[in-house]
Amino acid sequence: MNISFDNILLGVSILLFASIFISKSLGRFGVPALLLFLGVGMLAGSEGIGNIHFDDAKSAQSLGTIALIIILFSGGLDTRWESTKPILWRGVTLATLGVLITAMLLGSFVYYITDLTLLESLLLGSIVSSTDAAAVFSILRSKNISLKNNLRPTLEFESGSNDPMAYFLTVSFTYLVINADASLWSLVPMFFLQMSIGALSGIVMGRLMTFTINRIKLEQEGLYPALTLAMVIFTYAFTTLVNGNGFLAIYIAGVMLGNRNFIHKRSLTRFYDALAWLMQILMFLTLGLLVFPSEIVPVIGVGVLISTFLIFIARPVSVFISMAFFRNTLQDKLYISWVGLRGAVPIVFATYPLIAGVEKSGTIFNVVFFIVLTSVMLQGTTLTLVAKWLNLSEQDKKLKKHQFELEMEYDIKNELTEIRVNPDSTAVGKSLVDLHFPKGTLIVLINRNKKFLTPNGATVLEAGDVLFVMTDNDEELHTINQVLGYEMS
């Protein structure tokens, strides 16, 4: 039967509708939305009621890569440096050493209980060694889970930054399985080279994105998302081209951009948040279509053993070793161990040995898929409960204080002050984004020639403008007057 492009679009739209409505209906019972998206894909697949035959691992991998780029960049945009800075090295250690320990422990266990070779076992361990950014971001944020001791930024930073390490291990062990004569030690300098190039590229591109967005002055606001999307894709592609880790570059670029002032910041952040959700849905649907449930049944027994070892031994051991260098309570370590969520990323990584033609890649893929299902079902549904058991939950007042978001953070105790821009002010002719007002302040309105303007970062101040400024304290008001080039009379 010939399937037209219109039929494909119709099918995709129906799957999207079904995923969203089912997640809304069942999400209230604590079922993670990502698990539901996978379920819809499996139901629509060749062995489900939809009878859609899809077995193109290459296309699934390409879509997964694009989705991961968007998800990591969006996660970077939402990462606040002031909350990440205190836990930076803790997160970096979990994202590197923790991933390596998990991969080695799980690979050794797989080799012991299965007929896979040692390299194939280590490949499987590498594929599921990282926590999944899409799963962690969506579950923690959708359930508004607030945690003590900076645990939430730790978990989000770890999940956003540990995929590059897992990607490197996956690609490396895939290469070693295919090329038996290759040396494991030859990969060590490659690791440092890829990570260094990726980090440097992310820092440079993050700053370049900020500069470009603020200076290009596009006529249409709708072009800014297209501009940033082009730069995001370029960052990944260029970094990969020069043998750097593109995923690391994307996440760092997102963090760099998200913690700087730039034009249309609020609208662009919302755009990427929505796009990230769309990518998550499409990725989980596609991977659900790719799997054949009948092929998972034979690996359920070994899958349960591997999942149990990963959740209760490999992940906790890696966390306790990684966090031995830092001061954390036992409850902190236990909770971080439990939030070892595996999601779509391991399934995407499992397509690499499939495409490379690894002999037992089919078995590896099915085991990985089962591990993801058990992780999301068991860990994803109990994050709030475990946090309460460990006495790590706290009420997040910020989530209840505001009914809407503003581009700058403010408090209801702020005072609104009028400040006139004199002709001799150094701010005349400069845009708001270039003036670097204190972060806790907000320019609410501008009275220009008896007409009120709603300002944004691109608004250029003119002599005689009256700024309606919301400030939190007198020190901020003092700083604003210094920025404008004069003191209050």
Instruction: Note the pLDDT tens digit of each residue in 87-116.
Output: 999 999 999 999 999 999 999 999 999 999
**Percent residues over pLDDT 90 in the chain:** 36
Report whether pLDDT(474) > 70: no
Q: Sign of torsion, CA 241 243 247 253?
A: negative
Report whether pLDDT(187) > 70: yes
Q: What pLDDT, on the 0 to 100 scale, is given for residue 10?
A: 82
Report whether pLDDT(182) > 80: no
Q: What is the CA radius of gyration of the chain?
A: 25
Q: What pLDDT, on the 0 to 100 scale, is given for residue 37?
A: 79
Q: Which of 124, 119, 131, 187 minimizes the C-alpha distance to 156?
A: 131
Which is more confidently placed, 206 or 23? 206
Same fold, 10-395 and 415-483: no
CATH 3.30.70.1450 fits 415-483, yes or no: yes
CB within 8 A of 395, min separation 6: which ones? 146
Q: What pLDDT, on the 0 to 100 scale, is given for residue 328?
A: 87
pLDDT digit string, tens, across residues 323-347? 998 888 999 999 999 988 888 788 8
Angle (CA) 400 401 407, round 5°: 115
Cβ neighbours of 59 (radius 10 Å): 13
Q: Which of 408, 419, 415 minimizes the C-alpha distance to 441?
A: 408
Q: Which of 123, 129, 111, 114 minimizes the C-alpha distance to 317?
A: 129
Report whether pLDDT(403) > 60: no
Report whether pLDDT(166) > 80: yes
How high is the mean pLDDT of the chain?
84
Q: What pLDDT, on the 0 to 100 scale, is given for residue 169?
A: 94
Q: Which of 6-20, 257-271, 455-469 has the lowest mean pLDDT?
A: 6-20
Q: What pLDDT, on the 0 to 100 scale, is given for residue 124?
A: 96
H/E element holding 444? strand 442-448
Report whether pLDDT(139) > 50: yes
- Helix, strand or coil, per DSSP, at residue 308: helix
- Helix, strand or coil, per DSSP, at residue 218: coil
The tally of CA atoms less than 13 A away on the side-chain side of residue 251 is: 26
Report whether pLDDT(297) > 50: yes
Report whether pLDDT(355) > 50: yes
pLDDT digit string, tens, across residues 367-383? 998 998 898 888 877 88
**How far is the CA of 2 from the CAs of 5, 7, 8, 29, 414, in angstroms?**
10, 10, 11, 40, 63
pLDDT range class, residue 138, cuts 50, 70, 90: low
Q: Which of 26-30, 248-252, 401-405, 412-416 has the lowest mean pLDDT?
A: 401-405
pLDDT range class, residue 232, cuts 50, 70, 90: very high
Residue 403 · residue 451 · CB < 8 Å: no
Q: What pLDDT, on the 0 to 100 scale, is given for residue 267?
A: 87
CB within 8 A of 270, min separation 6: which ones? none
Q: What pLDDT, on the 0 to 100 scale, is given for residue 409?
A: 37
Report whether pLDDT(401) > 70: no
Q: What pLDDT, on the 0 to 100 scale, is given for residue 142?
A: 60
Find the Cα–Cα–Cα–Cα dihedral 186, 187, 190, 191, rounded to 10°.
-150
Report whether pLDDT(254) > 60: yes
Domain 10-395 fold is Na+/H+ antiporter like fold (1.20.1530)
Instruction: Name the burial class of residue 275, with classes exposed (0-12), middle (13-18) and buried (19+) by CB atoms within 10 angstroms of its CB.
Output: middle
Which is more confidently placed, 118 or 52? 118
Q: What pLDDT, on the 0 to 100 scale, is given for residue 316?
A: 96
Kindly state the average pLDDT of the residues 203-229. 91
Q: What pLDDT, on the 0 to 100 scale, is given for residue 222?
A: 85
CA dist 373 and 349 (Å) reads: 15
pLDDT digit string, tens, across residues 37-53? 778 888 888 777 777 78
CA dist 209 and 213 (Å) reads: 6
Q: Which of 118, 101, 91 minimizes the C-alpha distance to 313?
A: 101
- Helix, strand or coil, per DSSP, at residue 447: strand
DSSP code of 162?
A: S
Domain ranges of the chain: 10-395, 415-483
DSSP code of 461?
A: P
Q: What pLDDT, on the 0 to 100 scale, is given for residue 203?
A: 96
Q: Where are the alpha helices (DSSP H) in 261-325?
A: 265-290, 293-296, 300-309, 315-322
CB within 8 A of 28, min separation 6: which ones? none
pLDDT digit string, tens, across residues 302-326? 999 999 999 999 999 999 999 998 8
DSSP code of 394?
A: -
CA dist 419 and 39 (Å) reads: 57
H/E element holding 174? helix 163-178
CA dist 250 and 233 (Å) reads: 9
């694009």: which residue's tokens? 66
Q: Sign of torsion, CA 407 412 418 421?
A: negative
**How far is the CA of 90 from the CAs of 158, 172, 251, 368, in angstroms?**
9, 25, 17, 27
Q: What pLDDT, on the 0 to 100 scale, is given for residue 44?
A: 82
